[in-house]
Amino acid sequence: MHSLAFVVNNVLRKLTAMHVILFLLTFVSTLIAGALQKGINPLDDPGRIYEGLPFAMTLLSILLAHELAHYMASISHDTIATLPYFIPGPSIFGTFGAFIKMKSPITTRTALIDIGASGPIAGFLVSLVAVVFGLFYSDVVEVTDGLAFELGDSLLFYLLTKIIVGTPPEGFDILLSPIAFAGWIGFLVTSLNLLPIGQLDGGHIVYAIEKDIHTWVSRALLVVLSVSGIWLWTGWLTWALLLLILGIHHPPVLFSDIPLQPSRKKTALVSLSIFILTFIPQPFKMP
């Protein structure tokens, strides 16, 4: 384990103007998204843009926790990686996520599973806090004809909603607070990253557990995503195409003969449980 001083020095040494600029742009774009969700047009009423802060700060905290966990795991296994690059984007989320780039091979299967699982687990924990806290400040409102879309539920989000908010009466639905909505996005991002395919976090975990089945699992999942894109949500077709372009194969680790530490199988089970709890078969439903 590296000392805190070593980690801080490492971060400061690798921090570039590009990292800072992208983070600030993403902060602005998520701030605007948060304001728009509250019905505020920043161009017409710029003085109220600060009302997007709860959403922006929560979502950025989730993404930052996810990527920094990857980064810290990389450091602990002496793997060279960049700091997180945030991606601003004109969407209801205000961002297309964040990523780090590995700049040296991963040495062992244990290192691979640590690096792959650390991000989703950290992001999930922050998302869970956001969802629980945010649901207490969510409102039950009457459903109107102007509803553009409805959010789908993961198993965990559904259970937490029933426990904290309860079941809305007929003709009513739950209007998520900005913090709860950011937590919902966090669950979605976590499950997407844990898809066991290619070089996604879930793909890293499958490869670390049993590299010989990785390609077959990836191919099968491409088929599942394509079919789901036809029957459930067209976004799965986009994901299938993107993953096909990026490639479903996984690069080998340097010392693949070194056995996986037994405790990492528990890490894989924790990751699988998180995936099952946060996966949303139909993230967006049209009314």
pLDDT tens track for 81-103: 999 999 999 889 999 999 999 99
Sign, Cα dihedral of 61, 139, 188, 18: negative
Using the predicted structure, report yes or no on whether residue 7 has a pLDDT greater than 90.
Answer: no
- Give pLDDT, residue 43: 85
Query: How confident is the model over 41-56, as pLDDT tens digits?
Result: 988 898 999 999 999 9
How high is the mean pLDDT of the chain? 93
- Quickly count helices (H) and strands (E) in the chain: 10, 6
- Give pLDDT, residue 287: 60
Using the predicted structure, report yes or no on whether residue 171 has a pLDDT greater than 90.
Answer: no
Q: Would you give the distance in Å from CA 82 to the centre of its chain?
A: 18
Query: How confident is the model over 173-208, as pLDDT tens digits?
Result: 999 999 999 999 999 999 999 999 999 999 999 999
CB 81 within 8 A of CB 100: yes
Query: How confident is the model over 125-141, as pLDDT tens digits?
Result: 999 999 999 999 999 99
Query: How confident is the model over 21-79, as pLDDT tens digits?
Result: 999 999 999 999 999 999 999 888 989 999 999 999 999 999 999 999 999 999 999 99
Using the predicted structure, report yes or no on whether residue 142 has a pLDDT greater than 90.
Answer: no
Using the predicted structure, report yes or no on whether residue 1 has a pLDDT greater than 70.
Answer: no
Task: Sort 6 into a burial class: Cβ within 10 Å, 0-12 / 13-18 / 19+.
Answer: exposed
